[in-house]
Every structure is written in structure tokens, then in C-alpha cells.
Amino acid sequence: MSDPATIAYYEDNAPRYTLSFGQAPSRHLDAFLDRLEPGSRVLELGCGGGRDSARIRERGFDLDATDGAPAMVRKANERFDVGARAMTFEELDAIAEYDAVWAHACLLHASREELGVFLPAIHRALTPGGWHYASYKLGDGEGRDLLGRLHNFPDRDWIENAYRKAGFALEDVIVFPGQGADGTMRDWIALTVRRASR
């Protein structure tokens, strides 16, 4: 996530995110983790305040929690002691290192052009047969929300095709209503995809 205004927003609001969203894990997390073998190595992108990180660790997985905003990393570690580290999407250069990549509500901040680079990087980072989850706010074109954060706002066909182009097989796609941090209600899409086993 290279957009300066978006990173600045999360740097400035890290304490609020830790307090507001630190209580319960994401709604799709446990179902995703149920797909994994015990002890699987899980990369979390955009760990934020650490709520999902804590749940991943609690379930016994080998967690590598990351976030592009250093203030969010500090808060996640202060609250949950999950060993989070600062890493932007651009810095992901792992090769077949992770059994799963969890990216709840974070890749939605990548520009559409950047997403065309980040998705193949995630694919490369996964072991054969590895799983990836991501969620996005649906829309009709790249833009900013009321808080000034960049969003790619894809429609369903666009984001599904982006994942196929990156080499993923779509396993489960869910569209659901949700309210963003800026108070706007819109449809979201959650994709669970897999790298081919060969």
C-alpha cells in the first residue's frame, strides 16, 4: 500500500482501531482457518490492531503478522503480543513460504494497477495448494472514501478476473452488506482462493 494519505490515516488512527476493533475476529476467519492443516504457516497482511492475529495464534497456527503502518504494528503487539512486523505489500518477496495468506479488508487499499502486481506476489508466496482470503468493498471504479483512503472499488467480475489472471482458483465467493469506517453502507465481496497444488 503505497498511497501516502492512506498510510497516514492508519498511522494517525491506530489507537482508535485497537480499541474499536480489537474485541472479536473477522466473521470469515474461523471458516478460513478450518481449511488449513494444523500448524500451517499463515501470513497476515494488514493485521491492523491484531484481532485476527490473536485468533490465528490462539488456533495454533504459525503466524507472520504484518502491516504497512508502523503505528498499527506497535498497537497490535502492545495489545496482543503477536510478534507483528512492519511490511508493505510491495515488500512481499517470499517464494512458497506460506500455507495461507489472510488479507482481511486491506488489499482494498491498493490501486488497481498495484493489485496486478500484489496478487501474483501472494501467489508466489504460497506453497502449492495454499489458501488465500481477501475482502473488498464493491464499487464501479477506483477512488477515495469519506476518510480520504484510497480504494480500488472493484465490481465482482473485475476482482474475480484479477484473481484468475494471477493464477488462483476461486473456491468460495461471498457478497455481503457492510459498513465501512467512514459510515458508508455498501456491498462487500470476500474471496477464498487457492494456488494450484502443482
Q: Domain extents for the chain?
A: 4-195
Q: Can you give the pLDDT at residue 14? A: 86
The DSSP result for 75-115, as a single string, is HHHHHH----EE--GGG---SS-EEEEEETT-GGGS-HHHH
Can you give the pLDDT of all 198 residues of the chain as single tens digits?
578 899 999 999 888 776 655 468 999 999 999 999 999 999 999 999 999 999 999 999 999 999 999 999 999 999 999 999 999 999 999 999 999 999 999 999 999 999 999 999 999 999 999 999 999 999 999 999 999 999 999 999 999 999 999 999 999 999 999 998 899 999 999 999 999 986
Q: How far, in Å, CA of 143 to CA of 109, rounded? A: 10
Give 69's contacts (C-beta < 8 A, 6+ positions apart). 7, 10, 11, 14, 86
Q: How far, in Å, CA of 8 to CA of 140, rounded? A: 25
Report CA 137 to chain centroid distance, whole Å. 12
Q: How far, in Å, CA of 121 to CA of 93, rounded? A: 7
What's the CATH number for 4-195?
3.40.50.150
Give 80's contacts (C-beta < 8 A, 6+ positions apart). 22, 50, 51, 53, 54, 57
